[in-house]
Structure 1
Amino acid sequence: MSNLQDSAQRYGAVSRLLHWAMAALLVWQYLTVIVPEGHFLESIVGGTHKATGLLLMVLVVIRLLWALYNSSRRPAPVSVLARFGHLALYGLLFVIPFVALLRQYGSGREFVAFGMTIMPGFSDGKIEWMIAPASLLHGNLGWLLLFMVIGHAAMAFIHRRQGGEDVLARMIGR
C-alpha cells in the first residue's frame, strides 16, 4: 500500500498514474485543436475534444482529492513559485473544461460523452450570458495552460540538469 501513496521523497503510483495519464490526455487534447482538417490524424482525434475535456476535468478532481488525502506525505515544493505554479495548473485544468461545459449548456445542445448523456439539450433558445464569457475564456485559457505546461516540463528538466533537487525523479518513480 505504501508504494501507492506519496512519500516525502517521491510521488506514489497513484499520483504518478494520474499525472502521466493527464499529460497524455493533454497531448491528445491539443492534437484535436492543432491537427489540420483533412490530415490523416483528424480521423483519429477528430470529434474527441469535448469527451477528452470532460475526462480531464474528472481526473483533475480525483487528483486534487488524492493530493489532499496525501498532503502530509507529499514531497515539499521546491519554492513558493513552484507551489503557485502547480495551483495555477490545477486551477486551469478545472476552469477550462468548466467554462466549456457552461458554454455547452448555454448553447442548448445535447452533450453526449462516452455513450452517456451529460447534458440534455433544450430548444428554449440560447443563454448568451453563459456562452459569451465561456467562448472568450476557453480557448485563451487553453493556450495559457499549454504555455504553463511547457514551462512546468522545462523547469523539471532544468532542476534535474542543475544538480539541485531532482524533481523529475519524484514523478518518474526512480
Structure 2
Amino acid sequence: MNNATAPARYDGVSIILHWATAALVVLQFGSAETWDFFPKAVRHVMITGHMSFGVILTAVIALRVLWRLTPGYSAPAAGSELMDRAAKAMHHTLYALIAAEVPLGFFTRWTDNHALSFFGLLIASPFGTFSKAAGGFVDEIHDLNAWLIMILVAGHALAALYHHYLLRDDILRRMLPRRAR
C-alpha cells in the first residue's frame, strides 16, 4: 500500500488487539521479574496468573495474525518508504519474538516437569519428563527472549514518542482509541 492510498488511522480491531497485546506483554514481563520478591503463596498465584495470561496472549497473537489477513485490516503508512519498511520490520520482529515466547513459556513449564495451568485447569506435558538441564536451558531461552521483546517494545514506544513530540506527526494518534485522541 503506498502512502497515497494508506488509511488515516488503524482500524478499531487492530487498535484493541495492539493495546491488549501491549498490556499482556508488560503484565507478563512484570510478573515474571517480580514474583521472587513476594511470599510463596503470592508467588504461586503470580506464576499461575502468568501461565494463564500467557495462554490468553497466545489467543490475542493468533487473532492479530488472522485479523491482518482479513480485508477489514487497515494500517496507515509510517511516512517515507524507509520509515514504513523500518516500522514493518519492527512489527514483524515483535510478532515473531512474541509468537516464539508463547511456546517457550509452555515448554518452560513442561521441561520443568510441571503441568501448565490455565486458571486452575492443568495441562500436562505431552512430551514426558525432562532432565533438569533441559528445563534450565529452555527457561534461559524464554528469559532471554522476554528481555529482547522488552528492549524492542521500549524502542517501539520511544519511536512513537519521537514521532509525537519531536516530529509532531500523527503516527501515535493513529493507534490511540478515538476518545484518547
| Shorter-chain TM band | 0.7 to 0.9
Identity %: 27
The answer on whether the counterparts of 1:107 and 1:131 sit within 8 Å (CA) in structure 2 is yes
Q: In 2, distance between residues paired with 1:67 and 1:56?
A: 16
2:102 matches 1:103: no
The answer on whether the counterparts of 2:108 and 2:135 sit within 8 Å (CA) in structure 1 is yes
45-54 vs 81-90, which deviates more? Answer: 45-54
The equivalent of 1:137 in structure 2 is: 141
What one-letter code is carried by the residue in structure 1 that aligns with 2:33?
I
TM-aligned CA distance change 1:9 to 1:44, over 3 Å: farther
2:124 matches 1:120: yes
TM-aligned CA distance change 1:123 to 1:153, over 3 Å: closer
Cα offsets for 1:34-75 (capped at 9, x unmatched): 325238xx5797222222222112211111111221477321
Matched pairs, number: 165
Q: CA offset at residue 92 of structure 1?
A: 1.1
TM-score (norm 2): 0.76
Cα offsets for 1:119-160 (capped at 9, x unmatched): 325795326796454223100010111111111011001011
2:169 matches 1:165: yes
SS at match of 1:54: helix
TM-score (norm 1): 0.79
Aligned pairs for 1:58-69 (under 5 A) are: 58-69=59-70
What one-letter code is carried by the residue in structure 2 that aligns with 1:46?
M
Runs of at least 5 residues in structure 1 that lack an aligned partner in the other structure: 1-6
SS at match of 2:20: helix
106-115 vs 19-28, which deviates more? Answer: 106-115
CA RMSD, aligned part only? 2.9
TM-aligned CA distance change 1:129 to 1:29, over 3 Å: same
The answer on whether the counterparts of 2:21 and 2:57 sit within 8 Å (CA) in structure 1 is yes
Runs of at least 5 residues in structure 2 that lack an aligned partner in the other structure: 1-5
SS at match of 2:117: strand
The answer on whether the counterparts of 2:108 and 2:142 sit within 8 Å (CA) in structure 1 is no
Which structure carries more relative contact order (alpha carbon 8 Å, separation 6+)? 2
The equivalent of 1:152 in structure 2 is: 156
127-136 vs 157-166, which deviates more? Answer: 127-136
